[in-house]
Structure 1
Amino acid sequence: MNGLNKRVICVLLLVSGWGICTPAWANPANRRAFTRYFGNYLSKNLNSCGVCHVGAHAEGAESLDDFPHNPFGTQLRLEGEKLSEANRDPEIALRLKLLADQDADGDGFSNLQEILVGTAPGDKTKYPDAAAVQKLKTLTAEFSEYQNRYAWKPFKPVKRPEVPLIKDADWARNPIDHFIAAGHEQKGLKRAGEAAASILLRRVSLDLIGLNPTPEEIRAFLKESETNPRAYEEAVDRLLAHPAYGERWGRHWMDVWRYSDWAGYKEALRVSQRHIWHWRDWIIESLNADKGYDQMVVEMLAADELKPDDWDTLRATGFLARNYHAVRDQWMDDVVKHTSQAFLGITVGCAKCHDHMYDPIKQDEYYQMRAVFETYHVRTDRVEGVLDTSENGIPRAYDKSVTAKTWFFEKGDERRPVKDKSIPPGVPKFLGGAYEVQPVSLPLVASQPARRDFVKQDFLAQMRGAMEQAKQPEQRLAAESALAVLEAQFAIEEMEAAGDKKSDAWKTAAKELVQLQREAALKDAQWKLMSAVEKQEQAKQTLAKAEKGKKKSAISKAKQQLKKADQAHKAAEKSLKKAEEAAQAKVTTKYTPRKQPTYPKQSSGRRLAFARWLTDKNNPLTARVAMNHIWLRHFGQPIVPTVNEFGGNGREPTHPALLDWLAAELMKRNWSMKEMHRLIVTSATYRMAGTGSKANSKIDPDNLYLWKKSARRMEGEIVRDNLLSIPGRLDPQLGGPDISNEQAQDSRRKSIYLRHAHEKLVEFVQIFDGPSVSECYMRETSVQPHQALALANSKLSFLASEALTAKIEQQTTGDVDAFIEEAFLSIISRLPNAEEKKLCREFLFDGTEGGQGTPSQDQFQKLITVLFNHNDFVTIR
């Protein structure tokens, strides 16, 4: 880098307050760590490079000599060097703690005291005045208490924190409640009581399977709860075993993992892949089977290296297939960016053009992570019963080249690769762990998938079908001959796979195959010539008929057809002559191999090594990020507010100790998500009511400390699903190809099976803040008029109201009060109160003579429509 470039970069860094270019310990990540260490106790005037450095010249700085450390900065640098020499982490927080009581500038005040009152600890001309000194005792005590809080260290391995002791231990049902209650006690919050049984059942049903409980289930649960203290826990177990669990939580994880159906036009392939729904089905099946989160991550990133001959598991690599982009650099950018955010909760992509501004990620490390994925590409393997992969097939990852090189791009510009030396695969060093690559030898069926037994059987079935459909004897003879060739090809492939390539038996088989291929070519040529002659005769007859009719356009068209038929006839004669000559030639062992796709016999092992590094229990982020996502979807708010940014630019967690405990518990329980769901939904915290005191609202208006259970709006998918399920119209079928998004108002399948791609979205779902195709780590929730319009006027709502009205009328046989009660139980899972029942009766009898008689079916249906538009229908309380 020349001097001018250095000056420009350093000036930019200084102006923006990032630090300087070259000296050890001075970088944007350290500055961010400094500000996070002091939090709100750091005054604005000390949030600058001048805390540690003496200002540079106006034209910038090229070295530490031009932008030197002041005494405080020197202390920090030397302390960092000492820690490194002692094989200890030179993190800023530790250095600041060790130097807190020292006086760097010799002005009689410690470093900590000066920082707390807002004077520079490295400038002896600036020190606390008398007024500031008066505040020091209080400030120091407050900061000490602040520092004694549970330290949030997302980049350190997870350590299980002690479960806090609380005053009201009888309230707690499991350790989660201890962490939450500790926050209540600290903030002086009085928590809400337990929710009513009907609310609780609806809440947990919607959370775990996305469907309202039926009136029968509600009545049974209320009755069971009177005598069985474990009625709720048993309900939770039933819900976790329900097939809809995988669909409900599959959609959540599909948000995080950026599921998208194929978005191509005609034959074009823009993003994702055809038949990517196989990955969606793998997600649902894996969740229902309670496959460990760690195993799911490994399979999504490297199933082709872990289980290369297991086609069910290979569906998992749809995660990588989905990232496909026609522009390779964009493809690689996306896979690095979204893999790091989805599983690690860090923005590695920010280091493509320069060292990360907030986290200790070097620019080189971005390209090392890209190199992990550089070798992979995407292909589509056949599925049983379908030979044409355009109709169906499994889109999957594989290593197209084990030697693909990654180049460093100067300033992140793809047009400026530095090809002096390729970048090896690797992981960000600050996260620790071992990244050890071992190449993977692949079985024959992975490198030559057409050799799989079911593929061969499908080819044989296709040939036999051609024989059965043959209309002419010559056509049948050609098909029979082709079948004999195929069977012989399969036989010799088996011999060669067993290592037999030059034996007498192989030579005999090879010669027999050559003879069969010549015979097949001859019979095929004979059949094609006969067919060509027939078409030629037909063309002549067509022309004669056209000439008789004397219509010029018909004559012209007929002449063109005859010309094509004549050409086909000549080509067929030529092919037959060639086949006859070949049949007379000496028979050799040079047979024609079966045409089939062939792929590398080895995979690099890069992705498998990365997946194992990622899911190692010492990886500091994977379990934390997973549990943060799970917690978000149970409580409507995550513990770490920035779910895909756990780094320096993210926000700190509300309950860091709880998140660490949950992460440790997830790993202890073999990464079982079902067990973690059970733990969360059976906690007293989850079971709280949604109302609380006004005093609490003043202390914690956003309910960050969970003194009640916050209500939240249903996602668009389960609004739609419940419009189908409640009246009994839902088709419970699991899996299968994506259904056109244009069929959303008519299809009875769940929303998860409707097409979700760019320009191919379900409008009803999107109205209720459906997921973005590009990325959706955390959904937004809006309140807009067209949401009410969709519930009131859509075809889906009309059909739901019509079907539910008929269903309840049949059950209640004219009993108006029973109809009202059943309607409330069906739609909002509770009985109406007296005022609600009175209003409903008035509504139903409106227009009848004297408010008597029997309400019309239309009026019953209108009441159902009103209840579907009730706020409690779309709200999870």
Structure 2
Amino acid sequence: MVRNFVSCRWAVAERFNVVVAHLMWSVLCLCMPLSVFSEEAPSFTRDIKGLLSDRCIRCHGPDAEDRHGGGEYGLRLDTFEGATEDLGGYAAIVSGNAQKSELVIRISEEDADLIMPPPEAGEPLSADEVALFRRWIDDGAKYEPHWSYTPIRRPIIPEVSNTFWPRNQIDRFILAKLETKGLVPSQEANRMTLARRLAIDLTGLPVSPEQVDEFVVDTSTDAVEQFIDTLLSHQGYGEHMARSWLDLARYADSAGYADDPPRTIWPYRDWVIGAFDNNMPFDEFTIAQLAGDLLQDATVHDAIATAFHRNTLTNNEGGTIDEEFRSVAVVDRVNTTLSTWMGTTIACAQCHDHKYDPLSQQEFFGLYAILNNTADADRKDESPLVSIPWEPLDVKRRPLEKELAAILKAVPEMKKITPKKQVQPRGEPPELRPLRKHTDTLRRKIAAVKTVTVPVMEELQDDKRRVTKLQYRGNWQDLGPVVKEHVPAVFPQPELADGQRVSRLKLAEWLVDRENPLTARVLVNRLWEQIFGIGIVSTSEEFGSQGELPSHPELLDWLACEFIDSGWDIQAIQRLIVTSATYRQSSKPTPELLEYDPENRLLACGPRVRLSAEVIRDQALAAAGLLSLKKGGPSVHPPQPNLGLKAAFGAGIDWKTSAGEDRYRRAIYTTWRRSNPYPSMATFDAPNREVCTIRRPRTNTPLQALVTLNDPVFVEAAQALARRIIRESEANVEAQATRGFRLVLTREPRPSEVERLVELYEETCAKYTTQPGAAMAMATKPRGPLPEEILKHFDGNVSEAHIHLAAWTVVGNVLLNLDEAFMCP
């Protein structure tokens, strides 16, 4: 009905009162909750659980200390047994009979002394909410298990009326729901829009205008699929995918706390990038990071992967107790593991049983026990460590070792010589003394070429294993009974042989077991969120009872089944999503659709998402032609504003700006300091990574505009973009404006847009003609003097070149700051 009203073109002869009647019904449909006028029976999960949680559970939930009313142990409304308990001839809920249910009587009460919830606890339930409780109880008051704890089963593909629109099964789930709402999908986005959308979503980098033009004119039936495969194999794919995983892993190049000293852990970052580039199956990806050291025939790369849980903070301040902060690190590992793989917040169970989910403190420390027997112990040396080969150091070391080996082979007597404080034998042949001096120098040089070492996980030997005890109120010194390794009972249990304990390896295998109800759901939801900006479950960090319900639960389970059956193939799921008609829709909603579904939860149009901090920076450098595609290696220090910030207490990392191409590396290689994050990243909502971050917020503040207008990286990008415009365009202003526009936004500009850019350019040229000093500064600082290849376009006239380049720099700055430049279209 709503859609019919929105889409109809009413005939002129239609009577006015009919229009008004339809209008009133449409407004009513939009304003009333679906369950109020739907004939569908109320659902505990969809309709009742949230009301109980918001209005009742605080006083009638699992926490015995806060529980009121009822019998000897208080009234519980979070379980069927508690809610239906005989309280002496009456019960809070009488299944099938709302009229006799004390809960309904009390929430319907008008007396302030009798009504529930009491006035001091909040607003009373509305008439509609009371009606929901009545209908639910009359229908049997069924307490359903929480949806995300139920087994994943492949759902039936829904039937749809419009059989021409779907490109794959995803579309049938989306369209089926649209049709129930009387909505239709949006038209398909044009090729230029689709090219930019795909490139940003899969690589985090824009495609060149030439690549877009080639894609646009490709008439082959699988042109889009080929373009997608090209992007999935692009060298930027792994770097882009790794960004969100490093948020989960709380990856940083410093150890945290007040001193925040440097930490060499970049090989783990490179391992993650390589894993995504090689499309490592997610089950293998999981096991390597949680228990790579426990694998049979484990390699150095397996050891590096375990640095996932060495990203915890360490405290080297004087007077701290190592065991206290080791315990803090283990707690963080428990929280991070369940958040990352199961979308479950278990942190409150460190101190007490979870108030909303079936997770006890005993179970928290069962997980703690699994992770409590690694050799690390909050030590300053970060041990245990593993040495890794790194080509730049090997290049330095190899010729020295080769020269030394040649000398020792030619003069065997030199083999007896030790490099440090040796006692020279009497009567040594004088001709050997210079050679000995040289071999000593070679040995010192070889020793000076330090190896790269990475902190890793390493299991303690059986005779050194720690005994885990429950910590009362989470206090590491207030210990209770011994707790053995185990996982929460609400989930299927791992298979164990007699006497076998739940090791880290068993934990990792359990997380990616087919019967685990959460891992596959959580991961496909996260992949969906990365592309559409919001997950099928919008609270991607919370799949427990306090999280939101999935907008398309059957689609979520279908994707989870596809993920598992594909062999945990991440790219297979991404390919499914981006080849769907749902993804390929235009992202421009009608005003009516925007009002009806402002968050685009029904997906009647395509995604339009604000870019991440890293992509905003990388895109500016790419458009300017500055971006270095060099992969891997130690983190770099690109330019940042001179804010007068120094390392805390002299023990951190003072910022020494990198030289050469390291100034222009992708943002993922930027040094990540926890105490002082890179300013432009923090401004665009990047976390400091002290803890696991599942979902970044998306804010919109004036500070962001100040960054992209004035930050030295963006100013230099605008200057380089101006030079690129001159270098790559014909010698007419319209062509130059068009080139600049396409380098930043990919698409062809409209004539009005070209006209406005030309006006800005000419106005700015006129201004700088009278201000040669300002023109030179705008054209060259911080980028540097104009090169000869630019000056030749102005017949060597430096002043004229400064004026025109300054004007194009202003235009470039405007282009880089357009709203469209910050969005994935």
The one of 198, 205, 210 equivalent to 1:211 is 205
The one of 687, 697, 711 equivalent to 1:771 is 687
Spell out the pairing of 1:95-494 with structure 2 (5 A cutoff). Answer: 100-101=95-96, 103=97, 109=99, 140=135, 153-224=147-218, 227-263=219-255, 274-326=263-315, 327-378=325-376, 379-384=384-389, 385=394, 392-402=452-462, 403-418=465-480, 421-434=481-494, 436=496
Matched to 1:426, the amino acid is: H
Residues 820, 840 of structure 1: 8 Å contact kept: yes
Residues 294, 615 of structure 1: 8 Å contact kept: yes
User: CA–CA distance in 1 between the matches of 2:181 and 2:274?
Assistant: 43
The superposition leaves residues 401-445 of structure 1 with CA deviations (integer Å, 9 ceiling, x where unpaired) of 432110112232222112xx52111100111122537999xxxxx
Aligned-pair distance for 1:307?
Answer: 4.4
Residues 41, 116 of structure 1: 8 Å contact kept: no
Aligned-pair distance for 1:777?
Answer: 1.1
2:528 is paired with a residue whose SS is helix
Structure 2 residue 589 is matched with structure 1 residue 692: yes
User: CA–CA distance in 1 between the matches of 2:737 and 2:453?
Assistant: 50
User: CA–CA distance in 1 between the matches of 2:348 and 2:62?
Assistant: 26
- Cα distance change of structure 1 residues 197 and 78 upon mapping to structure 2, 3 Å threshold: same
Aligned-pair distance for 1:74?
Answer: 6.2
Aligned-pair distance for 1:286?
Answer: 0.6
Q: What's the counterpart of residue 813 of structure 1?
A: 730
Q: What's the counterpart of residue 818 of structure 2?
A: 870
1:732 is paired with a residue whose SS is coil
The one of 562, 569, 574 equivalent to 1:677 is 574
The superposition leaves residues 99-150 of structure 1 with CA deviations (integer Å, 9 ceiling, x where unpaired) of 743x4xxxx9476995898589xxxx99xxxx999x97997499989999x9
Aligned-pair distance for 1:740?
Answer: 3.1
Q: What's the counterpart of residue 444 of structure 2?
A: none
Structure 2 residue 641 is matched with structure 1 residue 739: no
Residues 35, 42 of structure 1: 8 Å contact kept: no
Aligned-pair distance for 1:308?
Answer: 5.0
Aligned-pair distance for 1:664?
Answer: 1.2
Q: Which moved more, 1:740-749 or 1:657-666?
A: 740-749
Aligned-pair distance for 1:221?
Answer: 0.9
- Cα distance change of structure 1 residues 606 and 874 upon mapping to structure 2, 3 Å threshold: same
Residues 152, 652 of structure 1: 8 Å contact kept: no
The one of 517, 520, 545 equivalent to 1:623 is 520
The one of 636, 645, 658 equivalent to 2:555 is 658
1:394 is paired with a residue whose SS is strand
Q: What's the counterpart of residue 748 of structure 1?
A: 664
TM-score (norm: length of structure 2): 0.70
TM-score (norm: length of structure 1): 0.66
- Cα distance change of structure 1 residues 173 and 740 upon mapping to structure 2, 3 Å threshold: same
Aligned-pair distance for 1:761?
Answer: 2.0
User: CA–CA distance in 1 between the matches of 2:66 and 2:242?
Assistant: 56
Q: What's the counterpart of residue 320 of structure 2?
A: none
Aligned-pair distance for 1:724?
Answer: 1.7
1:429 is paired with a residue whose SS is coil
Aligned-pair distance for 1:805?
Answer: 2.3
The superposition leaves residues 718-738 of structure 1 with CA deviations (integer Å, 9 ceiling, x where unpaired) of 111122212222211111111
Aligned-pair distance for 1:185?
Answer: 2.0
Aligned-pair distance for 1:309?
Answer: 3.4
Aligned-pair distance for 1:42?
Answer: 6.5
- Cα distance change of structure 1 residues 292 and 68 upon mapping to structure 2, 3 Å threshold: closer
- Cα distance change of structure 1 residues 259 and 848 upon mapping to structure 2, 3 Å threshold: closer
- Cα distance change of structure 1 residues 42 and 396 upon mapping to structure 2, 3 Å threshold: closer
User: CA–CA distance in 1 between the matches of 2:573 and 2:260?
Assistant: 38
User: CA–CA distance in 1 between the matches of 2:619 and 2:184?
Assistant: 35
- Cα distance change of structure 1 residues 794 and 37 upon mapping to structure 2, 3 Å threshold: closer
Residues 631, 638 of structure 1: 8 Å contact kept: yes
Matched to 1:807, the amino acid is: R
Matched to 1:639, the amino acid is: I
The one of 38, 44, 48 equivalent to 1:38 is 48
1:205 is paired with a residue whose SS is helix
1:351 is paired with a residue whose SS is helix
Q: What's the counterpart of residue 91 of structure 1?
A: none
Matched to 2:48, the amino acid is: F
User: CA–CA distance in 1 between the matches of 2:593 and 2:461?
Assistant: 60
- Cα distance change of structure 1 residues 57 and 291 upon mapping to structure 2, 3 Å threshold: closer
Aligned-pair distance for 1:210?
Answer: 0.6
Aligned-pair distance for 1:198?
Answer: 0.7
2:388 is paired with a residue whose SS is coil
The one of 610, 616, 619 equivalent to 1:722 is 619
Residues 765, 807 of structure 2: 8 Å contact kept: no
User: CA–CA distance in 1 between the matches of 2:737 and 2:658?
Assistant: 29
Residues 345, 645 of structure 1: 8 Å contact kept: yes
Residues 341, 522 of structure 2: 8 Å contact kept: yes
Q: What's the counterpart of residue 35 of structure 2?
A: none
- Cα distance change of structure 1 residues 698 and 138 upon mapping to structure 2, 3 Å threshold: farther
Aligned-pair distance for 1:390?
Answer: 6.8
Q: CA RMSD in A?
A: 4.2
Aligned-pair distance for 1:247?
Answer: 0.2
1:434 is paired with a residue whose SS is coil
Aligned-pair distance for 1:246?
Answer: 0.3
The superposition leaves residues 137-174 of structure 1 with CA deviations (integer Å, 9 ceiling, x where unpaired) of 997499989999x9961012211111211222211111
Q: Which moved more, 1:738-747 or 1:358-367?
A: 738-747
Q: Which moved more, 1:698-707 or 1:111-120?
A: 111-120
**Where does the alignment leave 5 or more consecutive residues of structure 1 unmatched?**
1-32, 80-94, 441-603
Aligned-pair distance for 1:313?
Answer: 2.1
Aligned-pair distance for 1:301?
Answer: 0.2
1:252 is paired with a residue whose SS is helix
Residues 46, 119 of structure 1: 8 Å contact kept: no
Aligned-pair distance for 1:345?
Answer: 1.2
- Cα distance change of structure 1 residues 368 and 241 upon mapping to structure 2, 3 Å threshold: same
User: CA–CA distance in 1 between the matches of 2:596 and 2:668?
Assistant: 40
User: CA–CA distance in 1 between the matches of 2:132 and 2:722?
Assistant: 71
The one of 860, 864, 876 equivalent to 2:808 is 860
Q: What's the counterpart of residue 506 of structure 1?
A: none
- Cα distance change of structure 1 residues 143 and 812 upon mapping to structure 2, 3 Å threshold: farther
- Cα distance change of structure 1 residues 276 and 141 upon mapping to structure 2, 3 Å threshold: closer
- Cα distance change of structure 1 residues 138 and 187 upon mapping to structure 2, 3 Å threshold: farther
Matched to 2:249, the amino acid is: W
Q: What's the counterpart of residue 526 of structure 1?
A: none
Identity rate, percent: 28
Matched to 1:416, the amino acid is: D
Residues 42, 118 of structure 1: 8 Å contact kept: no
Q: Which moved more, 1:622-631 or 1:384-393?
A: 384-393
- Cα distance change of structure 1 residues 36 and 359 upon mapping to structure 2, 3 Å threshold: farther
The superposition leaves residues 804-850 of structure 1 with CA deviations (integer Å, 9 ceiling, x where unpaired) of 22223222231222212211111011111121111122223337799
Aligned-pair distance for 1:34?
Answer: 6.6
User: CA–CA distance in 2 between the matches of 1:677 and 1:692?
Assistant: 24
User: CA–CA distance in 1 between the matches of 2:479 and 2:106?
Assistant: 47
2:688 is paired with a residue whose SS is coil
User: CA–CA distance in 2 between the matches of 1:835 and 1:806?
Assistant: 24
Larger radius of gyration: 1
Aligned-pair distance for 1:331?
Answer: 1.0
Residues 730, 750 of structure 1: 8 Å contact kept: yes
Matched to 1:249, the amino acid is: M
Residues 522, 540 of structure 2: 8 Å contact kept: yes
User: CA–CA distance in 2 between the matches of 1:675 and 1:186?
Assistant: 29
Aligned-pair distance for 1:801?
Answer: 2.3
